[in-house]
């Protein structure tokens, strides 16, 4: 399994060759997913896809980091909820309202 380069190398890549840093991120992520159990691989691929979508929305590296931190905080909050009150994960509060087209009134009366 590939090891993460030292911080100074990563910093240099980020500054001088961000495409190479991105390729490293993707290669290491793929390696981790491939080494995971077959049951976990689909979930990890879905998570990776979500992370890639968040990164694609970033306007600059700082914005991307803030968005990724927000995603991580949401995941940690959900994890804490699963540990402390698992029943709340399946509770739904949706209100179902009838569908009516605007201006469509019963004209048969």
Segment 2-25 shows an average pLDDT of 94
Upper half-sphere CA count for residue 4 (Cβ side, 13 Å): 10
pLDDT band with cut points at 50, 70 and 90 for residue 108: low
41-60 confidence digits (pLDDT tens): 999 999 999 999 999 999 99
103: left (phi over 0), alpha (psi -120 to 50) or beta: left
62-97 confidence digits (pLDDT tens): 999 999 999 999 999 999 999 998 888 887 777 888
Say what the pLDDT of residue 93 is: 75
Kindly report the pTM of this predicted structure.
Answer: 0.70
% of the chain with per-residue pLDDT over 90:
74
Is a pLDDT exceeding 90 seen at residue 104?
A: no
């Amino acid at each position: 399994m590939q090891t993460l380069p030292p911080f100074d190398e990563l910093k240099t890549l980020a500054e001088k060759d961000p495409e190479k840093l991105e390729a490293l991120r993707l290669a290491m992520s793929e390696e981790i997913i491939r080494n995971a159990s077959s049951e976990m691989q689909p979930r990890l691929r879905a998570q990776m896809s979500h992370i890639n979508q968040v990164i694609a929305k970033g306007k600059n590296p700082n914005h991307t980091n803030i968005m990724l931190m927000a995603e991580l905080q949401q995941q940690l909050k959900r994890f804490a909820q699963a540990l402390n009150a698992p029943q709340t994960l399946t509770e739904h509060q949706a209100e179902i309202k009838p569908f009516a087209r605007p201006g469509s009134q019963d004209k048969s009366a």
